[in-house]
Structure 1
Amino acid sequence: MSLDTSSNRPAAGTASGVGDGTPLVSIRHVSKRFGNGTLAVRDVHLDLASGEFVSLLGPSGCGKSTLLRMIAGLAAPSEGSIDWPAEAGGKPGEGRGLGFVFQDPTLMPWADTLSNVMLPLKLRHVPLDEARDRAAEMLALVGLKGFEKSYPRELSGGMKMRVSIARALVLRPKILLMDEPFAALDEITRHRLNDDLLGLWWKERFTAVFVTHSVFESVYLSQRIVVMAARPGRVMADLDVSAPYPRDELFRTSGDYARLCRLASGKLKEAIGS
């Protein structure tokens, strides 16, 4: 379903004209039942295309985070499959350049900012000088140049999340998975990080999958919004947000944005009531 029919936005899967339409990830009739018998996710069927920005929108308990963890290979489906057609034969996390940003920054408190961002490179045995340069470059990209020697206790919540994003992006992943990374932040900081995230996505051309409870955030960020219902988690709508990029404060205060938010909110209400 389309929330808008503007032709100004790049086609889904080809952000800024990048990508050939081949799905990066194919989720085929995936269900997840936990050991206690709880069916968390039921029969999810989705394609995630190269370069697109997708939000998973739904209430608490609808399986958004569980689905994200299965895409990352941190949990296995009970039924169905999660395949990577563009890189046949691999398993989740094997050479695919996958980054994950959790709800909390999960930084090492004893390490400075630069060392936190360097960690994935060290684990890949990247030479120290190269790792240091790449981490410094990524910190500059997320607006933290000059804070390389700061420790997590010296950073604000928004700055800690920037470090977490820099760490996830330092390996130049093809797909960035984000599990409500801005939920605990104040509105001003959240808006600023939304803008910065879109700038990074536009520049780096990764596929973004963003979990959120916020209709407003999902409409502002996304090309597609996958609306999920709870108990068990399942897809109720796959919405095409055809608004042009780049998006900024003028879009956030526009009539088009308000209209798109109303339409998405209506779909979410239907999902909650289903």
Structure 2
Amino acid sequence: MSLAASSPPSALSGRPIVRLEHVSKTFSNGTIALKDMSLTIGAGEFISLLGPSGCGKSTALRMLAGLGEPSSGKIVWPDPAEKSASDKSEGEIGFVFQEPTLMPWATVFKNVWLPLRLKGISQAAARPRVMEALEMVGLDKFADSYPRELSGGMKMRVSIARALVTRPRILLMDEPFAALDEITRQKLNDDLLRLWEQFGWTIVFVTHSVFESVYLSSRIVVMAARPGRVIDEIDVDAPHPRGIGFRTSQAYGDYCRRASESLLSAIGAADHL
């Protein structure tokens, strides 16, 4: 079965795939990372969580991945049954961290094979899926290379392929392109959008960049810090495929202005608490 076949068709876009219901998170040191956050994520959406440092974006993402539990509230997966994030089976969630976190002693192929290996799938049985994932990110010719031989952008592509090889229902991305130069970042933005448009994935993407959030998203969720909470949502009603024409359009500028104003409000809301 191909990755395309495992992805939700565009006709299903908008069907709720996961809900955060009045989620709060307080750490053991007393820091309130999130307070009363509610958000519904529809199948096939590309959602960006935009906000200042310390607003709980990454905390929300990690709880969606089952890497932490809410202090109060709940995370609900309506289909096929209501279960907490920690109850989700392997393969339903893909996570791309801020750093590629690759094993330096392993080849690109073996780095991408890792999540399947942990599920007991042999290298031979996993090969078609690993090569398919590498082909999707343009690295099928680098399967036998080592991380030290790759550029920063290529390492991040390997990290994305590793998340995709499990054929997840939802892809969570925690500022994956923040450390890259602008040209590489724009290229990876374009490639990610192309894959999302082609396969109809559900993506939740954390970013500090107004420009990146507008370019990528179907919806921007703006968050304020101390305590982290949603203060605005912006629907980016721009056609696909997107490219240089959209980046230089009046509509793009207008959306960026709206998101910038909302982000300034978010920073102000934090400063006055």
Q: Tell me the TM-score range normalised by the shorter chain.
A: over 0.9
Q: Which residue of 1 aligns with 2:183?
A: 188
Shift of 1:199: 1.1
2:211 to 202, 211, 216: 216
Q: In the alignment, what sits opposite 2:256?
A: 261
Please point out which of 122, 128, 145 is paired with 2:123. Answer: 128
> For residues 96 and 50 of structure 1, do their structure 2 counterparts lie closer, same or farther at Cα, with a shift above 3 Å needed?
farther
Q: Which amino acid aligns with 2:123?
A: L
Q: Which residue of 2 aligns with 1:57?
A: 50
Match of 2:18 in 1: 25
What displacement does 1:16 show?
7.3
CA distance 1:59–1:156, change in 2 (3 Å): same
Q: Secondary structure at the match of 2:231?
A: strand
- For 1:143, the aligned partner's letter is G
Mapped partners of 1:18, 1:61: distance in 2: 36
**What TM-score do you get using the length of structure 2 for normalisation?**
0.92
Which of 82, 95, 98 aligns to 2:75? It is 82
* Conserved? CA contact 2:43–2:201, under 8 Å: yes
Q: Is the 8 A contact 2:13 2:45 kept in 1?
A: no
SS at match of 1:85: coil
Deviation (angstroms), 1:86: 0.9
Give the match's secondary structure for 1:87. coil
Aligned-pair identity in percent equals 62
Query: Structure 1 residue 68 and structure 2 residue 58: aligned?
Result: no
1:198 to 171, 176, 193: 193
Q: Which residue of 2 aligns with 1:226?
A: 221
Asked if the contact 2:49–2:223 (Cα under 8 Å) also holds between the matched residues in 1, the reply is: yes
Which residue number in structure 2 is paired with residue 244 of structure 1?
239
The answer to whether the 8 Å contact 1:103/1:182 transfers is yes
CA-CA distance at 1:129 after TM superposition:
2.0
Amino acid at match of 2:81: A
Q: How many angstroms apart in 2 are the aligned matches of 1:81 and 1:259? A: 35
Given the alignment, which residue of 30, 34, 51 partners 2:27?
A: 34
AA at the equivalent of 1:258: G
Counterpart residue number, 2:5: none
Task: Judge conservation of contact 2:102–2:111 (CA < 8 Å) in 1.
Answer: yes
Question: Partner of 1:140 in structure 2?
Answer: 135
Q: Which amino acid aligns with 1:121?
A: L
Residue 70 of structure 1 aligns to a residue whose secondary structure is helix
Letter in 1 for 2:30: G
Structure 1: distance between partners of 2:110 and 2:90: 23
> In 2, Cα distance between the equivalents of 1:95 and 1:168?
11
Report how far residue 33 of structure 1 moved: 0.2
1:219 match: secondary structure: helix
Separation in 1 of the partners of 2:80 and 2:225?
32
Q: Does 1:172 align with 2:167?
A: yes
On the 8 A contact 1:56/1:210 being kept in 2, the answer is: yes
Unaligned regions of 5+ residues in structure 2, if any? 1-7
What's the CA shift string for 1:152-199, capped at 9, x where partnerless?
A: 111000000000000000111110000000000000000000000011
Distance in 2 between the 1:149 and 1:196 partners?
Answer: 22
Deviation at 1:238, TM superposition (A): 1.1
TM-score (norm. length: structure 1): 0.92
Residues 220-268 of structure 1: CA distance to partner in whole angstroms, max 9, x if unpaired?
Answer: 0000000000111000001111111111111111111111101111111
Given that 1:22 and 1:86 are in contact with CA atoms closer than 8 Å, whether structure 2 keeps it comes out as no
Which amino acid in 2 is paired with 1:42?
K
Change (3 A) 1:206 1:20: closer
Pick closer, same or farther for the CA change 1:21–1:145 going to 2, 3 Å: closer
- State the one-letter code of the partner of 1:190: R
Show CA shifts across 1:86-124 (max 9, x none): 121544232561000000000011000011001111112
Gaps of 5+ in 1: 1-14
